Amino acid sequence: MIQHPVRSVRRAQPATPARGRLQSLVQGGRRRPRRIAMLSVHTSPLHQPGTGDAGGMNVYIVELAKRLAALNIEVEVFTRAICSDDAPTVELAPGVLVRHVTAGPYEGLVKEDLPAQLCAFTHGVLRTEAGHRPGHYDLVHSHYWLSGQVGWLAAQRWGVPLVHTMHTMAKVKNAALAEGDTPEPAARVIGETQVVEAADRLIANTTEEAAELARFYAARPEQLAVVHPGVNLDVFRPAASGAPGTAEARRAARARLGLPADAAVLLFAGRIQPLKAPDVLLRAVAVLLERRPELRERLVVPVVGGPSGTGLARPESLHKLAAQLGIGDVVRFHPPVGQAMLAEWYRAATALVMPSYSESFGLVALEAQACGSPVVAAAVGGLPVAVRDGVTGTLVNGHDPADWSRALEPYVTDPELVARRGAAAARHAAGFGWDTAAATTAEVYAGSLARPVGRLTGTRRLLA
């Protein structure tokens, strides 16, 4: 982790251009920033979700940055270069620039190795800013604790607010650890605590996450802002033909994917790692087929995604588990896919299954519902917000395969239930557009600009 100075060493003139610019932004009321530095150290918004460490956070950053740009807030995303062919800068969308920072070897580094590269990454960020006029960035928004460590120093040096989004928290994950999974290290806990102390504002996905920030990390009420993530309703939407959740819409999607038209499709979509608990789905299916063997002929369990995180230690373990449970004939493994194809999988599903041990929010649940598919999910994290229990799907307490088997059975045997909850799911998800999330985030930015910057003694600079 980076050792941060107590006092800023940025240009020490009493009235810098950066200060003057920020003052002009807040005169006459709360104003939005013109340009922000968004930090995503360990995973790039250009990477395919479902591979390596790419997942919901990648989707979050891409969609948020695009919508902020539409609000005339320029976004420059700093991420670590992982290939010598990575261009220094890539335009992701109008008003959104991705900057690749060289920090450590391009290949062979896992997320756990990255703390040793934070100084190199910070150097790249600061060097980029130093090539511009003072005040180039009005605000820093960091994602995940590694980025927060970099954002802490950058925000101090530039005299601008630090807004941070955790996405996941070590203490929360360790409190709900999957059996056999590796706990998050103490270094991460310490790093997260430092970032919470340094941040001007903390964006939480749900009120529950905000409460966890306060309980586990002593976040102050004035730091916390709740902004529900959104879903791309242009991509994740019901089929063009057929009402949401109807058998007709599902048959059309299944035809395009080569799935049986009359199958009961229980879909897992996401990174294959203990935290996401795809093994719970497989064990529940085995229990269900033991009790109802006649369902085997029509049951299909697609697993769409690749090994990630601690799942990389045993990348074939889920395949072996399916064989050991005697359900290798119903489980189908598919590599990660792009958003358009992922939407097809959602439309084809009888239900999406999310047995996760921890979820900051669960964007996958929203995406599936937007496509007209109900969701059976663990009652953890933000999933009780994303899924309306008994209306758009089912929430399950705990991870006992027998309980999950009972929760899944009605979706396999009752087409009317699937149709009713699928239609309700599409209506529910329609209320979670990214435009709303971006507008709310922009207001959090505006509030940060209108307040003193910096939580550490000697670093506060009054901006309004």
354 is in an annotated binding site: no
Exposed, middle or buried, 51 (CB in 10 Å: 0-12/13-18/19+)? middle
Exposed, middle or buried, 298 (CB in 10 Å: 0-12/13-18/19+)? middle
349 is in an annotated binding site: yes
123 is in an annotated binding site: no
| Residue 120 bridge partners (DSSP) | none
208 is in an annotated binding site: no
Tokens of 208: 């529950």
Q: Are 76 and 97 in contact (CB under 8 A)?
A: yes
42 is in an annotated binding site: yes
> What distance separates the 2 farthest-apart alpha carbons in the chain?
78
55 is in an annotated binding site: yes
Q: How far apart are CA 361 and CA 232, in angstroms?
A: 15
What lies within 8 Å, CB to CB, of 19 at 6+ separation is 135, 159, 461, 463
Q: How far apart are CA 208 and CA 214, in angstroms?
A: 10
367 is in an annotated binding site: yes
53 is in an annotated binding site: yes
276 is in an annotated binding site: yes
357 is in an annotated binding site: no
58 is in an annotated binding site: yes
346 is in an annotated binding site: yes
Residue written as token pair 């600009």: 449
Q: How far apart are CA 56 and CA 60, in angstroms?
A: 6
Kindly list the distances between the CA atom of residue 435 and the CA atoms of 15, 209, 337, 340, in Å, as whole numbers in the listed order.
36, 21, 24, 20
49 is in an annotated binding site: yes
- Residues flagged as binding site for Mg(2+): 346-347, 349
- Residues flagged as binding site: 42, 48-49, 53-58, 111, 144, 168, 188, 271, 276, 337, 346-347, 349, 359, 367
- Residues flagged as binding site for UDP-N-acetyl-alpha-D-glucosamine: 48-49, 56, 271, 276, 337, 359, 367
- Residues flagged as binding site for 1D-myo-inositol 3-phosphate: 42, 53-58, 111, 144, 168, 188
